[in-house]
Structure 1
Amino acid sequence: MFTKTGRKARVRALTSTATAVVALTGIGVANAQEANEETTTRTLDQVIVTARKREENLVTVPLSVSVVTGADLDRLGVQRLDEALQSEPGVNVTPTPVGDLLFIRGIGSGQNQGFEMSVGTFVDGVHYGRGRSSRHAFLDVESIEVLKGPQPILFGKNTTAGAFNIQTRKPGDEFEASVDLHVEPEFGTFQTTGIISGPITENLLGRLVLRSFQTDGYVENTFDHVDEPSRDDLVGRGTLVWTPTDTLEVTLKGEYGDGAMEGGRSQVTQASPLLQQLIATVDPGAEFNLDHKKSGSGVAAPFNREYEDDTTYNGTLTVNLDIGEYTLTSISSYVGFDVGYSFDADFTPLDFLHQQWGQHWHSWAQELRLASPTGRKFEYTGGIYLATEKFKNAKDFAIDFAQTPLPFGSTYRIQNFSQTTDSWSMFAEGTWNLTDDFSAILGYRHTDDQKKANKELYWSQYGSDVPDPSITLYTGLGLGVAHFYKGIERSTDDDSFALTLRYKPNDVMYYASYTQGFKAGGFDESDISGNLDNINFDDETVDSYEVGLKADSLNGRMRTQAAVFYNQYDNLQVSQFDGVAALIVGNAAQAISSGAEFQTQLAATNQLTLSFAATYLDAYYDMYQGGPCAYGQGSFCDLSGKELTFSPEWSGSITARWEDQLANGWTYALDGRLFATTEFYTEADLDPFVRQDSFAKLDASIAMTSPDDTWQFSLIGKNLTDETTFHFANDIPLSNILGNNYQTYVDPPRTIALQARYRFH
């Protein structure tokens, strides 16, 4: 636990950092105004965001927002959300079998199927409430807004860390059609995207996007002599925009994605003497290093076969009606996914642990929102929100003890969980423009959340439904206590508030805000204790304080943002694998996330654009006496004063773009981005085996575009520094029998891809 002196040192460090950020920002803005402006006439494009549920200029929005444009994604051949945000300081997106781990400023949700997100994901105004639900939605993206810090008023309950506000591309008034081919030959990656868009009738526009993706995988299985994980995806989206009158716009969007995967990217990076001895009986040459090789039978049956089949689907109807100067918006949505996943739970070529599950989740939601006109003394946005969600998870954990020192035969642990969530809320945010320079913004949201669940766990003999007579042995080994709970319920009734002061005396806008938010509690669907009290976890709450500034300077050539924040979380929801056979969910008493952020963009010349972003983060458990322990340290550890997962002290990025024209009319563009981070932990027990050391990664591309924009050819390099890193690691099950063992999901190595695009005219 940190001493009082240590906490004072934290405050001094944060205060010094905040002072430096503000001072450097002021100096930068002042110097920019005085710089010689004669040589460069190009200005930065204005960035329009919808972070407050209406279109606004980024530099007028009084909260910390980072924006990644669709053009940025296209230039670097980005295919997934984690790729899109991997160079965003203070942000982490990690795909895992359970779901994507989403973290902002060191706060997020761990790997548990029962968890809702602390970082909300919204696509075209629709909440995607589970980590898996938005994977296929990352297609034909217009922009990604990263809203840092709690967003409870306009975005709702599950945004205690922030939100990803994703906008997809809409059909335009002119015909557009293109075909894109992305090829990475070393690992057999092929992606094809086709787009057709434009007017269908005088008042009806349409857009259709189809994408096919295949890859052989980048991890070599030295035992099976295959590359893993191979994947095959197909996803499509159709959008219609109907404008029967000047005051009515109706948008209908439907999307469907289907994917299949064989094999996995996990590898054993720490093996106890016992596990090494067992593996040596089938693979004497097995190694236990973090690299792009693994020893495992990831595609063999029955226990070791690893595969995934997932389907995502959604439909959204958005209606915007102008009533005088007011706008009434209705968003009706249905979002869901189905997934079947099977994997080798010992992560070795041994044939003794296997797990599989089948999940279904869907959500019906309706939002009705009224927005007043802008430019008035008083402006407001308010509305109501209704949603119902259903989640089902059926999973089994198979053990063949004949492969271990405890020859009890083969058995199945079967778990079934279902949950229904009904919620409603009403919200309002009002802006008082007290003077031309000064505004006060007050927000309020009331939320009612009701959950009802069923849960069961039982043992059966492998390959049958006959109860296993060895159940007392499994219970004694900590593998689970049989139980059945029906109709367990919990309810949450919460009021969230936010107050922001905004002051803009000149080209610099200053703001200060206080926000109170929450994330509803729930049920731990993975609990195996058989104790009803352990199934419930409590609501998570946050009190957030932030001051910042934004500025456009140098006649529109430079844009700067800076913020200092302090967030206090009570009952922070955490999840950790127990090292034996289950993910455990609980609440940390209190956690702090504080720090400073700075980002700037400069049109340095008519050809060169430079960007820089950095985050200083001090995120730690202020009080957590019943936390998880690393192997051999006991059952519960005092983590008070210890750092949170995915919370590097420093992270930052530098990007550069040079664009010019050749004598023959072709244009060329050179893009590069360097991301660097200090060390961080990927699991709450802070075991040395889950610590990722500091690293830096470089991505770059060169693109050539024909004079009429018909052809574009690109060469794209990712992780050109060829860093071997990971963002997910965990204990291998049965640590109480097999000892201290870890498996790690290695990130992709260096890749070089070719991309070609043809536009139809």
Structure 2
Amino acid sequence: MKKMKLNKMTTALMTGLVGCGVTSINAQTTSSQTPTSPTLEVIEITSQKRVQTLQEVPATVTAVSGELLDDYGIDDLFEMADLVPGMVFSRAPDDGLALTLRGLGTPARTQSFDQSVALFQDGMFVGKGRMYSAAFFDVERIEVIKGTQSTLLGKNTSLGAISVISKKPSDEFAGNIKLGREFENGGWSVDGGLDIPLAENFSVRVAGHYIDQNGWVENLATGRDVPEDNDTGLRITALYEPSDSLTITAVYQRSDSERIGNGYQFVDNGNYFSDEVLAIIGEAQLDDTKTAVCSQCPNQESYHDTSVDTYNVTVEKSLEDFTLTSITSYANYDIEFYDDFDFGNAFDEFAYVTTGQVDYYSTYFKRGESYNQFSQELRLASEGRDDFDYMMGLFYFKSDWDSLEEQFYNTPNFPPDNAGQLFNGSFGNDFKQKTDTISAFIQSDMYLTDKLTLSGGLRYTDENKDVQFDRTPGELSTLWNTVVNPPFESELNFQDSFLNGNLSAKYDWSKNTVVYASYGLGSKTGGFAESAEISSADPSLNVEDGGARVATEETSTYELGSKMVLLNNSMNLNLALFYTDIEDFQETSFFVTDGSAAFLTQNTDVESKGFEIDSKWQITDDVQISGAVTFADSTHKDDGSDLAQAPKWTGNIGYLYTRELEAWDMHMRSSGFVRYRDSMVSQINETYPSDSLTTLDFTLGLFSNDDTWEVMLVAQNVTNERASDFSGPPAAPIGAILGAPTGDQGITSETLNIQRTVKLQVSYHFY
């Protein structure tokens, strides 16, 4: 069996994302093509320091190139989800992440828990969901690995992982700049990078990013088109290769993000409301307008300000038959959030009726967070042995998170004739959490025959969380902040240890067909939910007893798959069947019951089963088509109800057409995709449904034969289809405007998916 040792450049690009025999390195080569025998581009990844094609890897992996991201003007991970079947990535009002793969993930809202779909930035584990929305630019590629990847990826990868690999410096002076102008909603962007060789073995790349983008929903009350985004980013990457056996890569990134307003609006879910009421709260239809005022928020809108700094140093040393890798990283972020959680323009009804004067009241949350993390990974891997390969290592992680969220409830007309006694008043959740994690892992590939490879690994993890959790009432003492949400002071501790692992078997059925079977056992540590309703005034109790303690969730994933190369190397066809079972799934939802609004965090047992198919076909040298579909039936095991943000069907079909224009010494390129997302629900008990969504994306561009310039027109959601991206009830019963509470079937709040965008991009490369 022929093994391939990583060359120095491939090793330098190693980011440490490995799991179930997968390492997130994606070097691309193009096979020679003739007019009569078109072949697909060959995508290669590395597994335990071996080079393999994507078709050989015994796992479901979606690789998205930086070029494709640029072509579609994708500026963040939320938009990138459209390119990955089976992936849903939505934003809750407070920037909580609703991220699911195959219908499973960590629900939005609670920030004290990590995501179960982990993010890696140039090999650095990103410990908090807040950093998932950091500036997104100068990307070499993104790889999405589905299924449990606990052995080598480790901490909180029970449902998958996303690896973002940034561009590395070249050894020649070169640069690029891209300007974009958005015409449909208004806005512009600029991205660029510069490679600077400072010595024969030392080079630096400096990359920058700026975007000023208006939103797709007009707030009639403030005159803004929201959400209005202003993002800046700076990355400096240094690559030092003092010898053939030593590579040092250092990366610093700074991201600043400011968002004014949100796209949330009232939606009537079927109740009858009078014209007078609709005039007060808006038309209550899912469209591109809203009417909302938050008089206490900056600009009278929800407001988010996030700054993130990351530092990462990767050292790789080749020592004869193995490679030693060290990844040292530090990251921190600070946020200031104001969130208008009544999503409207509530006012004092009595004053309006008696005087005609409108006095606005806002239910809003104010949140400040500071976070820092340090991690160190040491990894030892063999290189191309004939009998087996191995990888072993240690991982240490430490973080410190401080969060103060103040909730201000102002509902002037509820209960009737008892104003200010229940849904008025404020309180603060002051949550400080220190986390220490240490783990050890070992994994091996055993080549039993020329056709059969068995892979197995184990990882032991011990995690400790020390928490100071205090709740204090505001100056106005009411039933809301003294009885419904009682004050307390608590010092808490959560400790857990677990043994996870992966096992897979891969069989080369023929030269062009691989079949595999895999199993993964993963865990995501529990702890205390800072947003939980704590009626007992004792957060150390389990959530079902009125506390905030949530158990560790444990995931088992089974997968059968086949990867085929067909039609004389012009087509790839990948098939996978999967089943995932989760005990003590950490579920958070926001609901209204008996006129009371609350966040519910709980443990429950869930499962997901289904299949995935993806294919790509190079029909001619000029024409390529692709398609993918994922079916995932993700349900609660007790009653069979659907999980939130878990559409059963997702998929896409598209084309890529490239044609040389010989008379003008240039090429034309066009692409188009039809993407489908099935209907889904946004909260538990199958409440707050979202209609299915089908969008059409299209690009048309010209680029020079030497790739020095490119002009590209990018249109997304051409037909301007709309469906709710995330939905739920207001934090206070919006029916208080009418003097009565609103239940699950009343007016709720929803945000639209991004509406049609039309962008012109101009790029220039110099060498």
TM value normalised by structure 2 = 0.87
2:270 & 2:623 partners in 1: Cα distance? 53
Aligned counterparts, 1:590-629, within 5 A:
590-623=605-638
Q: Look up the equivalent residue of 2:334 and give its one-letter code.
A: D
- Aligned partner of 1:363 in structure 2 is 373
Cα distance between partner residues in 1 of 2:209 and 2:482: 48
Tell me the equivalent position of 1:501.
505
For residues 511-554 of structure 1, the C-alpha deviation after alignment (integer angstroms, 9 at most, x for no partner) is 11121111111111112322331211001111211111112233
Instruction: Report the AA paired with residue 365 of structure 2.
Output: Q
User: In structure 1, how many angstroms separate the alpha carbons of the residues matched to 2:397 and 2:197?
Assistant: 33
Q: What does residue 647 of structure 1 align with? A: 646
Paired residue secondary structure (1:531)? coil
Distance of aligned partners of 1:54 and 1:171 in 2 relative to their CA distance in 1, 3 Å threshold: farther
In structure 2, the partner of 1:28 is: none
Deviation of 1:722 (Å): 1.2
Aligned partners of 1:594 and 1:505: how far apart in 2? Answer: 25
Q: 1:120 aligns with which of 115, 118, 125?
A: 118
1:554 alignment partner in structure 2: 567
Task: Establish whether residue 102 from structure 1 lines up as the match of residue 99 from structure 2.
Answer: yes
Identity %: 28
Pairs within 5 Å for 1:508-523: 508-523=513-528
Matched, 1:323 2:319: yes
Q: Which runs of 5 or more structure 1 residues have no equivalent in the other structure? A: 1-36, 462-467, 624-639
After alignment, is 309-318 or 529-538 more displaced? 529-538
**In the alignment, does 2:544 pair up with 1:531?**
no
Paired letter, 1:531:
D
Q: Residues of 1 paired with 2:425 and 2:286: CA distance?
A: 32
2:129 to 131, 137, 162: 131
Q: Give the structure 2 partner of residue 394 of structure 1.
A: 404
Partner Cα separation in structure 2 for residue 644 and residue 713 of structure 1: 43
What does residue 672 of structure 2 align with?
672
Supply the distance in 1 between the matched residues of 2:49 and 2:716 (Cα, whole angstroms): 34
1:295 alignment counterpart: 291
Q: Deviations over 1:44-80 (max 9, x none)?
A: 2221235767653211211111111111111111111
Cα RMSD of the aligned pairs, angstroms, is: 2.2
Matched, 1:77 2:81: no
The separation in 1 between residues aligned to 2:760 and 2:603, in whole angstroms, is 47
Question: Which stretch of the first structure deviates more once superposed, 440-449 or 675-684?
Answer: 675-684
Contact 2:373 2:397 in 1 (8 A): yes
Superposition deviation, residue 232 in structure 1: 1.3
* CA deviations over 1:482-515 (Å, ceiling 9, x no partner): 11102x1011110012211110132211111121
Q: Give the corresponding residue for 1:490.
A: 494
Which residue identity lines up with residue 743 of structure 1 in the other structure? S
Match of 2:238 in 1: 240
Question: How do residues 264-275 of structure 1 correspond to structure 2 at under 5 angstroms?
Answer: 264-270=262-268
Structure 1 SS opposite 2:132: coil
For 2:469 and 2:273, locate their aligned partners in 1 and report how far apart those are by CA, in whole Å.
33
Alignment of 1:38-187 (within 5 A): 39-50=35-46, 55-96=51-92, 97-111=94-108, 112-187=110-185
Q: Give the secondary structure class of the aligned counterpart of 1:442.
A: strand
Q: SS where residue 584 of structure 2 aligns?
A: strand
The TM-score with structure 1 as length reference comes to 0.88
Inter-partner Cα distance in structure 1 for 2:228 and 2:516: 48
CA distance in 1, matches of 2:132, 2:50: 23
Indicate the residue corresponding to 1:24 in structure 2. Answer: none
CA drift at 1:403: 5.3
Aligned equivalents of 2:138, 2:441: Cα separation in 1:
31
8 Å contact kept, 2:230–2:259: yes
Q: Aligned to 2:601, which of 585, 590, 610?
A: 585
User: Are the aligned partners of 1:352 and 1:403 in contact in 2 as well (CA < 8 Å)?
Assistant: no
Instruction: Please give the secondary structure, in 1, of the residue aligned with 2:659.
Output: strand
Q: In the superposition, relative to structure 1, how do residues 392 and 474 fare at CA in structure 2: closer, same or farther (>3 Å)?
A: closer
Structure 2: give runs of 5+ residues left out of the alignment: 1-32, 347-360, 542-546
Q: Judging changes above 3 Å, is the alpha-carbon distance between structure 1 residues 50 and 359 closer, same or farther for their aligned structure 2 residues?
A: farther
The amino acid of 2:667's aligned partner reads T
| Matched length | 694
1:134 is paired with a residue whose SS is helix
Matching residue's letter, 2:101: I
Q: Which residue of 2 aligns with 1:459?
A: 473
Mapped partners of 1:524, 1:739: distance in 2: 26
Distance 1:85 1:742, change over 3 A: same
Aligned AA for 2:225? D
| Cα offset, 1:324, TM superposition | 0.7
CA deviation map 1:308-355 (0-9, x unaligned): 111011000000100013111100001221111102221112223121
Range 438-447 or range 262-271, more displaced: 262-271
| SS of equivalent to 1:133 | helix
2:419 corresponds in structure 1 to 407
Q: Quick one: distance in 2 between partners of 1:114 and 1:275?
A: 39
1:101 and 1:131 in contact (8 A); partners too: no
Alpha-carbon separation, structure 2, partners of 1:338 and 1:376? 49
